[in-house]
Amino acid sequence: MWECLRDIQIKASLFYLKQDPYHNLKHGERVVSYAMKINQSEKGNPFLVEAGAWLHQYHDHPDQLRQVLTETGLEQDVSDQLFEIVRLCRPHLISESSPIEAKIVFDADAMELMGAYGISRELACNLETRKLPYDHALTATRKVQSLFEKKLMTATGRAMARSDIRTAHQFWKNLDESESISSAHVLNQ
């Protein structure tokens, strides 16, 4: 099974190279690294966690995912478990009843949305890749950050994200305050 991991890593790396700059190979590598770190405490199946993290960005491409899994020659039950881990890597699909490996991979991906780094990465993606107007991009960033923050599934993920969450809350509070000062200034002119 472990020999398939290298194959999964190569195939996933090629897939990330075709994604936008905010979901590129570095994003894949960081999610793998977060997932393995979270798993040190959460004790999921290490193969499923690492392979699931490499494959997580296929969540919107189930046909390509199935093809990659078939090509690796993994046993059907392992392949099915990986498919499910990737499918569940969405805030509206992950739940308490999901396998621990899916929760770990979800939290690892969510770490990419936390804190100041998460705000700038998501905002830049909304502006450059999704082509949203600035106000809409900012609102969408705040919404998605709050959603992923609330959905963190493991105690380890929540602990890892704690200080980043504090930073983000402070940032949004400061932004709200500066916006209310500017609107008061406009009204007084």
Q: Interface with Fe ion by CB under 5 A: which residues?
A: 57, 109
For Fe ion, give the closer residue by CB, 109 or 149.
109
For Fe ion, give the closer residue by CB, 31 or 137.
31
CB of 59 to Fe ion, least distance (A): 8
How far apart are the C-alpha atoms of 159 and 148, rounded to whole Å? 14
For Fe ion, give the closer residue by CB, 57 or 145.
57
Best CA proximity match to 154, nearest among 80, 23, 52, 43: 43
CB of 150 to Fe ion, least distance (A): 18
How far apart are the C-alpha atoms of 16 and 174, rounded to whole Å? 35
Taking every pair of C-alpha atoms in the chain, what is the biggest distance, in angstroms? 70
CB of 57 to Fe ion, least distance (A): 5
- CA angle centred on 102, ends 100 and 104, rounded to 5°: 70
Task: Report the residue number whose CB is nearest to Fe ion.
Answer: 109
